[in-house]
Structure 1
Amino acid sequence: MESSCMITQVQREEVLVQAKPGLVSKTSLKKPRNRSIFKALFCCLSAQNVSRPAGPSDPPTQKEEAHPSPKSDLLQCLQYQYYQIPGTSLLPEVTPADKGKICMVIDLDETLVHSSFKPISNADFIVPVEIEGTTHQVYVLKRPYVDEFLERMGELYECVLFTASLAKYADPVTDLLDKHGVFRSRLFREACVFHQGCYVKDLSRLGRDLKKTIILDNSPASYIFHPENAVPVQSWFDDIGDTELLSLIPIFEELSDSEDIYTSLGQLRAP
């Protein structure tokens, strides 16, 4: 299996048609001179050996692959390692309003939205992002039912956005997406641990009880340290008929009263 930060020729040629480069991609800006820009801006978390469709920025004669690979379409990961200061936590103290609630860690790209540098006619947001002195427009599609999902999760959980993307992209996108102020905190790439070529979201560093912490993410590589805390979600790119977030609402409504998510999730996973 290829490292999540190693990229194939097909991956190099997809930067975004409707996707995000690790953060923004489903197609790719193919010009070599632009690659360093994407390396700096986007994340690559996928450790899955799945082929991904070429993006809209590919040459007209290029054929697209059949299935996209979660968070792997944008170039190599930066060789970055985070060293935590002993005794510190990534999250602030729990507010009185969230006391006793489960902490739900939610991913952004290809879980809630899909972004692309390639113009998309039906984009929900267009976010300007400055990269190396040049402003680029990022076109963002919202996953179906994301508004309903976030609003309900905000009522039941202490919701935290945790993305391996850079804040210069993810923060303005979240400003537009989170219209109800659901996310109590936002964590970006610098909060991840760079482990064996991947940006991993180490839940033990949040400062929350792990038996009352859940992570929702489309990339297994991002929660490799705590797979028992994860509720996997299918990667989303542009399927307007997708209902995954809608179907998860009743499941999370049931889980919200759990005193031990390991027991509750174990029961859900049982055949």
Structure 2
Amino acid sequence: MDECLIHSQFFGGKEYRQLESRPDLLTSTSSSPSSPSEEKRVDHFDLELPDGDVVRVNKRPGLDAFLKSVSSQFEVHVFTAAMSVYASPVLDVLDPSGSMFSQRYYREMCVYDESLNVYVKDLANLDLGHPMGRVVLVDNNPMSFLSQPSNGILVSNFYDDPEDATLGAVEGVLERIEGEEDVRGTLDNMFGLRDALRDVRENGPRR
């Protein structure tokens, strides 16, 4: 979810997401949720969380059309390392009718890897009801794929780029592999995550 579909900026001091290096866009845009910068050209919405914190959510360009399209063709699940107190209200806005996301999985469904200090998204822990060869994980964090690297579509980080065209490219990949009985061989060839993450397991992340 975070930096993959959306990018959130918090006006309080809490952090609900996985610890990653993120730019502090608030310092260059707006000091309050009521005064968005005129230079801000990506679609966004402001949201008050159940605990009172306020968040501005930047939507990756084309997000609404992407979600509508892929959910009409595929079974779409959201798997995030973020805390549900933040992620659930955001997803409610993105899918107000509850018709696009079949299931939502939050931080408690991830596997925390102490050696790498990262939450891993192990698809085997989810009750997906499909063979693994027909399951795809789209994520911006390579570490998310550690358990099933051959199922991954790796995308770039999104923060606030109005020219970003990533979601259209993802839809193109999905259309390419839609008819394959087992998508893992094609994804291995396209993204090479299996070999790259084997190196991470053996030698640790590169710095």
SS of equivalent to 1:176: helix
- TM-score relative to the length of structure 1: 0.57
For residues 23 and 50 of structure 2, what CA distance do their matches in structure 1 show? 26
Unaligned runs of 5+ in 2: 193-207
Pair 1:236 & 2:158 matched? yes
What's the CA shift for 1:267? 4.5
SS of equivalent to 2:23: coil
Relative to structure 1, the CA distance from residue 269 to residue 236 in structure 2 (aligned partners, 3 Å threshold; closer, same or farther) is: closer
What's the CA shift for 1:28? 8.1
- TM-score relative to the length of structure 2: 0.73
What's the CA shift for 1:178? 2.1
RMSD value, Cα: 2.7
AA at the equivalent of 2:78:
L
For residues 169 and 126 of structure 1, what CA distance do their matches in structure 2 show? 12
Superposed counterparts of 1:48-67, under 5 Å: 52-57=22-27
For residues 66 and 182 of structure 2, what CA distance do their matches in structure 1 show? 22
Q: Deviations over 1:82-134 (max 9, x none)?
A: xxxxxxxxxxxxxxxxxxxxxxxxxxxxxxxxxx9953616622111144xxx
SS of equivalent to 1:56: helix
Segment drifting more, 206-215 vs 232-241: 206-215
In structure 2, what is the equivalent of residue 209 of structure 1?
131
What's the CA shift for 1:176? 1.0
Choose the corresponding residue for 1:43, options 11, 14, 18: 18
Identity among equivalent pairs (%): 30
AA at the equivalent of 2:88:
D
For residues 174 and 146 of structure 2, what CA distance do their matches in structure 1 show? 21
Unaligned runs of 5+ in 1: 1-18, 59-115
In structure 1, what is the equivalent of residue 203 of structure 2?
none
AA at the equivalent of 1:256:
E
In structure 1, what is the equivalent of residue 198 of structure 2?
none
In structure 2, what is the equivalent of residue 173 of structure 1?
90
For residues 78 and 191 of structure 2, what CA distance do their matches in structure 1 show? 24
For residues 90 and 11 of structure 2, what CA distance do their matches in structure 1 show? 20
For residues 118 and 195 of structure 1, what CA distance do their matches in structure 2 show? 36
Choose the corresponding residue for 1:194, options 103, 112, 116: 112
Q: Deviations over 1:188-228 (max 9, x none)?
A: 11111111221111011123421111100000111211111
